[in-house]
A and B are shown apart, each in its own frame.
Chain A
Amino acid sequence: MERTSRTGALVTALTCCALLVAACGADETPQETAVGEDVDNPGEAADEAADPDPEDAVDADDAEVTVEHVQGETTVETEPEVVVTFDVGTLDTLDAMGVPVAGVPEVANVPAHLEEYAGGETSIVGSLFEPDPEEVNALDPDLIIVGGRSSEAFGELSELAPTVDLTVDNTDFLNSFGEQLGVLGEIFDREEWVEERLAVLDERVGEVSALADDAGDGLIVMTSGGEVTAYGPGSRFGLIHKDLGVAPAVEDVEEATHGDAVSFEFILEAEPDHLFVLDRDAAIGETGEAAEAVLDNELVAQTPAWENGDVHYLDEVVWYLVPTGLRSVETMVDEIDAALR
């Protein structure tokens, strides 16, 4: 057993080294990584940190509001100053509202107008489905917003600060979107602003629906890897049919929302007057370029849509990545409007 003492010493030495290294690491500025700027939060008392009570975050003279959302009710202080959102759609809306956002998730493809949030002033607080509670907690947020992909983290984030889930229901897109916008309006005390924007939006939707009445029918497809999938009224792009009134070219497209693989024969037989196309291969490069290559064939060429030049390549980022942002929805309506004219 006299051997073990030497190894024991080795272990102790190693551990000490590790502790030293770690301590040094803690003192120095964090490494330059994709995480961006680290928000230092000195002077915060650390004792209540283990399980922060949401109530503590609210100052006495702040008004509170209780809002209903997808996963229940949450009491939030009005006009919260430090906001973290895991939902990129909401980020777009808040940006439009002019509300500063303190923390956003790491996203592969940020829309151009939101690029300022990818680094710089804003903290990166984990990924869409894997929040980094430390970063979130370091910001000491007054409000956390989740939605869509990030809604699973609701329970975990609720323990850190008041959290609301603003997932938009695809099967009733515009109404649901309006409700979520209403919640934001309530929280940030911008009800009037929200109402105005929604009223304008409603008007535009009415105009587009009127156009749609005599524009014939349409089919929504997505191209990915040389193949085509179709989407129906119940899908994530269903607002084209349901809210904007474009008649579906295929009567019995199921409510299946995942996008079903279809052959070009399907498109031919559907005889759509309009073809709305999402290009999933355009991660880099010109939107529609890859999709056009896929659709340019003798079967699709026989459809009224192709013959009349009514094939519309939709903005992938807006429709696919950030479909629930206010400006995204406005852009969507504009795109369909332009398509039907």
Chain B
Amino acid sequence: MPGARARAASRTRGVRRWHLVAGALVLAAAAGASLFVGVTDLGPRDLVVGDDREAMVFLASRVPRLVAILLAGASMSVAGLIMQHLARNRFVAPSTAGTVESAMLGVVVATLLFTGASLVVKMAIAVAFALAGTAIFLALLRRITFRDVILVPLVGLMFGGVIRALTTFVAYRVDLLQTLSSWTTGDFSGVLRGRYELLWLAAVVAVIAYTYADRFTMAGMGRDLSVSLGLAYERTVNVGLAIVATVTGVTVVVVGAVPFLGLIVPNLVTMALGDNLRRALPLTALSGAAFVLACDVIGRTIRFPYEMPVGTVVGVVGSAIFLLLITRGRHRAR
């Protein structure tokens, strides 16, 4: 984050270009690494002169994994960004509003009631739960008159905690704690051709989010103002809600929960770019994708041939980066 505060206006544009270039470079490097890191020994040469098996591994395992990471990373970050705007609060993200926990409860319910059900059924249930949970949270927010910046996410954490307690309660009784923990730590090790395509749904939804970006920005100014500007406020909020819930539900079912993504990435981008959603959205998606990708490659190599779940790596690396940024104190929070 270079530049002095005094040149904030010009800096913003400079930072943005610098960011995009750096982000794109990191992304490209990490994507290349991702394609050639794995248990099967597979280098770029093998793609040209490889046999059927190597081609199969590449197409059935490596490429899907890369795509899944990019989709999940980008869409989760975008979901967090939208949520920040809708709740008019930087701390509100799927992980601090009970959305992730609700999706988790949905997964547990699905596992219990439809043990052999296909992924799509589980996902639908998870999305439904995430939707319901987020809607309840936003309803709570509407009912609560005070809007202390810190209070809102803490109500969210509280709400999420209640849902999590309920989930744990159920899982505890039917001895599903271990299964539950595999959903709570995001992990791309199970991604294969035919197993991640549902994530495209999250990507589509994120693109829809882009078309709505300006409306979300407006909605973020508050209800009265946006209505007076002629915005269909309720509908906009509902669309945002559906986007966030779908993205969360889908990623939790396919990958599991990745900590932080929806909270930290949008916050860092917003710190650099300010509050315009349309401008921040592409960079948020890019940074989220690059970050998760880098962490997943680390997770794959750190204990080769075994995998370290990406959720854990993101937790450690993300916290470290974030704390570093704060201590360097080169930004203004407001």
Contacts and interface: CB of A to CB of B under 8 A. Distances in A.
Would A and B touch once assembled, by the CB under 8 A criterion? Answer: yes
Interface of A: 108-109, 224-228, 230, 250, 256, 260-266, 268-269, 280-286, 289-290, 293-294, 297-299, 302, 321
Given A282-B115, A299-B61, A230 B192 contact: no
Contacts of B182: 224-227
Contacts of B56: 298-299, 302
Nearest to A284: B115
Contacts of B13: none
B53 A266 contact: no
Given A260-B307, A297-B195, 17 more contacts: A108-B174, A108-B175, A227-B182, A227-B190, A228-B189, A230-B306, A262-B189, A263-B39, A263-B307, A264-B190, A265-B38, A265-B40, A266-B39, A266-B305, A283-B175, A286-B115, A297-B192
B174 A297 contact: no
Chain B, interface residues (CB within 8 Å), range: 35 or more
Nearest to A263: B189
A302 B173 CA distance: 38
Given A283-B112, A290-B115, A265 B174 contact: no
Most buried by A among B60, B61, B172, B182: B182
B179 interface: yes
A106 to B, nearest CB: 10
Nearest to B119: A226
Contacts of A283: 111-112, 115, 174-176, 179
Contacts of B101: none
Contacts of A285: 115-116
B216 interface: no
B66 to A, nearest CB: 13
Interface of B: 38-40, 53, 56-57, 60-61, 111-112, 115-116, 118-119, 172-176, 178-183, 187, 189-190, 192-195, 256, 300, 303, 305-309
A286 B116 CA distance: 9
A286 B117 CA distance: 12
A62 B57 CA distance: 69
A260 B53 contact: no
28 contacts: A108-B174, A108-B175, A224-B178, A225-B180, A225-B181, A227-B190, A228-B190, A260-B306, A262-B39, A262-B306, A263-B38, A263-B39, A263-B61, A268-B40, A268-B57, A269-B39, A269-B40, A269-B305, A283-B176, A284-B174, A289-B115, A297-B195, A298-B56, A298-B192, A299-B56, A299-B57, A299-B60, A302-B56
A262 B119 CA distance: 20
Contacts of B309: 261
Nearest to A294: B190
B190 A226 contact: yes
A265 B190 CA distance: 10
A108 to B, nearest CB: 4
Contacts of A262: 39, 189, 305-307
A250 B308 CA distance: 18
A297 B189 contact: no
B39 to A, nearest CB: 4
A226 B190 CA distance: 6
A135 B257 CA distance: 40
Sort A-B residue pairs by CB-CB distance and give the 9 closest, nearest first. A225-B182, A285-B115, A260-B306, A108-B175, A265-B39, A261-B307, A227-B190, A266-B39, A289-B116
Nearest to A225: B182
A109 B61 contact: no
A321 B174 CA distance: 12
B181 to A, nearest CB: 8
A260 B60 contact: no
A294 B180 CA distance: 16
A269 B115 CA distance: 30
